Amino acid sequence: MADGEQLKTAQKKPRKWGFKALAGSGRPVAVALLIAMITVMVVNPDFMELIRLKTFDFYQAQKPRPLPEQRVVAIVDLDDESLASIGQWPWARTTVARLVERIVEYGGVVVGFDIVFAEPDRMSPQKFVESVSGLDPTMKSRLLAMKSNDEVMADAIRRTGRVVLGQSATDGKEFGEEGERQPTSVGELRGDPRPFLQTYPGMVRNLLMFDQAAAGRGVFNVLSELDGITRRVPAVENINGELVPALAIEMLRVATGETSLLLRLKADRTGVQDIVLQKQGVAIPTDHNGRIWVNFSKYDKEKYVPAKQVLDGTLDPTRLAGKMVLIGTSAVGLLDIKTTPVDLRLPGVEVHANIIENILFSQFLTRPGDASGQEAVFTLGAGMLLILFLPIIGARWTMAFFLVTAGSLAGFSWYQFSTNNILYDPAIPILILLIIYIELTYANFASEEKKRRQVREAFSRYLSPAQVERLASDPGKLTLGGEIKDMTLLFCDVRGFTTISEQFDAQGLTRLINRFLTPMTDVILARQGTIDKYMGDCIMAFWNAPEDDPQHAGNACESALTMKERLVVLNDELEAESKVENRKHIPINIGIGLNSGPVCVGNMGSDQRFDYSVLGDNVNLASRLEGQSKTYGVTCVIGENTYAEAPDFAALELDLIKVKGKTEAVRIFTLLGRPDMRKDPRFLALEIEHKAMLAAYRAQKWDEALALLAKCRELGAWLRLDHLYDLYDERIADYREHSPGADWDGVYVAKSK
């Protein structure tokens, strides 16, 4: 069927809608209730966050992370047995120094303290002299000449070269010796992450000599959520402006020989994306506040090594050899016990061990940055479907829809967790849908008689009683329809997409497409455009429907130019990321086609499914023009109608061409700039010579056309039109060998779409 006939047919086929779809006193309330609950969902009050967290706790309790077959982390435990043997904590620093040395002798890769040493050792010889009066002068002199216990421990830390000290962020003022410490080793990418991070005004630091001797320093704070359960741990904290990594992260940095860490913001700079060990190529995902979702295993007794056995040399060497070693405590009296989703009482030091294992075994537990948005959109969509379906198909089938939707959502959420360690919340969406279903069911039953009475009253004067009753029980439907409007159509497609896609896996390619489509879509919507559809990496859009837009051609041109500018920004971001990820960068290039003219627009499709879309010759031509952008080496090709309706924009004629599928020639142009460029003397000079060149070319004055081409190249160098002028050089050379004939009308027949 010809496109013109399709337009007429589309106008004659009205879309049928159920009368019940427009009725139902419960619908406005349901819509208002749905919007209100979605708003609350986005605001995310504490009670809603707790429901979500409890759901995630249930998942972890049902399927904790499996214990690794080969332990890579060991915990030297200041347990009750060790405290009973060696004495109450704190131990003499000489004992701690010996503990560090013995761990290294046993083959520990790195040693991390889940403890802070903020005050001098009270058992040092010098402290003894201060506390005891009447000492023999000789004894006093000998004691004062000895190294302090702190100096002994500092020497041990320095000699081993693999100790990471713990420190504690505090809501109070800074506590610790003043002095110069090595700077923290956290770099920044894409902007300042501090506004998103857990922030503290001060920190409890170790003695200065310890910090200067250590290979690294990390914060060991393990925070609890609203209900006292530990689920997330900050990967980096903002302490009085200083970026300080978590103890586990800093231990990994030291163990792998990294000189620094890289904290990376999301591409849209709305929060933290991850923290990167650059040499290892490991990106540790976080939430937007820079917190790691800890994927907990059950309490692991095999990780724990009594400190007493390390000190007295009775330990099996394989318990520490080749492992990352944490020094902490499971002793109840030292009050470092946490509640996690899988254990009611877990020593705090094992939280750090879980983080290390998550990273080493790539068993990250993640919640996508846009998960809340996806859940809100899904809930809104499913809620609107409930609102649509229940008055139409009745409570029984709507209950089936609700159960299938809820089951699918819960199943999808569990699958993502159990298979991919990704957290999606099914509880809040299901709860909202249930509330909507109950409200609609009640309102539908309560208003059923009222709706039937209204139908009888409305049609009793026009239809027979039997027809009225049938209409009351099963109202007729409005039919699908359309209208002819003068509109501007846009097609945008990525060039060489196959080559780009070969660099990514499925998830990476999906993220790339989304990152491309989002800014392009934002531009179109900002200029009153309507997105018709996405076709892979292609966007189809139009202007002047459903809302009238007298400036539709100008708005479309402005959108096309802005899309080019947004693409430059996106390519810069992708290039920076490719350098960080050490892969080749292939910039994204696009072709855009714009065309204006009458088309049919409306709800088109079947009774089961339809879309608000457009149809007609001018739609097809816009698509063909996008395809020609590559041929002529330009980004944007516009039709003659668009050129005429947007005269203030800078554009040059490309050709008089017969595109594929068309028998008539069309004049096409390339869109180059906004009205300010249109007034630029450089452009005006180029336009004059360009028009003269085309006139000479179409008159078959080849020498004159070549001379004018040379001028155009010079005048148009700033617009990068070399490809276009090369094309005309080649055509002229070809026409000189194979004359187009005296009756040639200057039309070029396109060989490709």
Task: Band the pLDDT of 16: cuts 50, 70, 90.
Answer: very low
We report the CATH number of the domain holding residue 638 as: 3.30.70.1230
Both 432 and 554 in one domain: the answer is: no
Both 211 and 265 in one domain: the answer is: yes
User: Where is pLDDT greater, at 455 or 296?
Assistant: 296
Domain tally, the chain: 3
Q: What is the number of alpha carbons within 13 Å of residue 201 lying toward its C-beta?
A: 4
Give the pLDDT of residue 174: 75
Q: Point out the domain boundary residue: 679, 694, 729.
A: 679
Residue type for 689, please? E
Phi, psi of 537 (to 5 degrees): -95, 10
Q: Are 102 and 310 in contact (CB under 8 A)?
A: yes
Q: pLDDT tens digits, residue range 650-687?
A: 999 999 998 876 778 999 999 999 999 999 999 999 99
Residue 634 DSSP one-character state: -
Non-local (6+) Cβ contacts of 74 within 8 A are: 108, 303, 304, 305, 319, 320, 323, 324, 325, 326
Distance (Å, rounded) from C-alpha 232 to C-alpha 60?
Answer: 13
Distance (Å, rounded) from C-alpha 248 to C-alpha 400?
Answer: 48
Q: pLDDT tens digits, residue range 636-660?
A: 999 999 999 999 999 999 999 988 7
Q: pLDDT tens digits, residue range 474-521?
A: 543 333 357 899 999 999 999 988 888 888 888 888 999 999 999 999
Q: Are 597 and 552 in contact (CB under 8 A)?
A: no
Within a 10 A sphere around the Cβ of 42, how many other Cβ atoms?
A: 12
Give the pLDDT of residue 436: 87
Sequential DSSP letters for 665-722? -EEEEEEEE-HHHHT-HHHHHHHHHHHHHHHHHHTT-HHHHHHHHHHHHHHTGGGT-H
Is the model's pLDDT at 222 over the cut of 90?
no
Position 719 in a domain: no
Both 316 and 349 in one domain: the answer is: yes
Both 469 and 487 in one domain: the answer is: no
Q: Point out the domain boundary residue: 315, 339, 360.
A: 360
Position 382 in a domain: yes
Task: Band the pLDDT of 452: cuts 50, 70, 90.
Answer: low
Give the pLDDT of residue 121: 84
Task: Band the pLDDT of 360: cuts 50, 70, 90.
Answer: very high
Distance (Å, rounded) from C-alpha 751 to C-alpha 655?
Answer: 14
Give the pLDDT of residue 141: 63
Position 751 in a domain: no
Distance (Å, rounded) from C-alpha 189 to C-alpha 580?
Answer: 10
User: Where is pLDDT greater, at 700 or 469?
Assistant: 700
Give the pLDDT of residue 397: 81
Distance (Å, rounded) from C-alpha 366 to C-alpha 294?
Answer: 9
Contacts 24+ apart (CB under 8 A), 434-438: 434/402, 434/406, 435/33, 435/37, 436/30, 436/33, 436/34, 436/37, 436/383, 436/386, 436/387, 437/386, 437/390, 437/398, 437/399, 437/402
Position 465 in a domain: yes
- Burial annotation 723-745 (CB, 10 A radius, 16+ → b, else e): ebbebbeebbeebeeeeeeeeee
Position 225 in a domain: yes
What is the extent of the structural domain holding 629? Answer: 482-679
Both 279 and 379 in one domain: the answer is: no
Task: Band the pLDDT of 459: cuts 50, 70, 90.
Answer: very low
Q: Is 363 buried (19+), middle (13-18) or exposed (0-12) by CB count in 10 A?
A: middle
Residue type for 513, please? I
Q: Are 524 and 484 in contact (CB under 8 A)?
A: no
Both 85 and 53 in one domain: the answer is: no
Both 659 and 555 in one domain: the answer is: yes
Both 568 and 626 in one domain: the answer is: yes
Both 167 and 274 in one domain: the answer is: yes
Position 744 in a domain: no
Q: pLDDT tens digits, residue range 553-579?
A: 999 999 999 999 999 999 999 999 888
Both 461 and 503 in one domain: the answer is: no
How open is the CA angle 529-513-42, to the nearest 5 degrees? 70
Q: Point out the domain boundary residue: 658, 679, 700.
A: 679
Both 453 and 577 in one domain: the answer is: no
Both 396 and 543 in one domain: the answer is: no
Give the pLDDT of residue 705: 94
Position 648 in a domain: yes
Closest CA relative to residue 728, chosen from 752, 692, 753: 692
- Burial annotation 566-599 (CB, 10 A radius, 16+ → b, else e): bbeebbeebeeeeeeeeeeebebbbbbbbbbbeb
Q: pLDDT tens digits, residue range 309-323?
A: 999 999 999 999 999
Average the pLDDT over 431-439 and give the result: 89
Beta bridge partners of 655: 668
Residue 334 DSSP one-character state: G
Give the pLDDT of residue 18: 36
Distance (Å, rounded) from C-alpha 362 to C-alpha 349?
Answer: 20
Q: Which residue has the tokens 């979702």?
A: 293
User: Where is pLDDT greater, at 12 or 272?
Assistant: 272
Q: pLDDT tens digits, residue range 695-733?
A: 999 999 999 999 999 999 999 999 999 999 999 999 999
Position 93 in a domain: yes
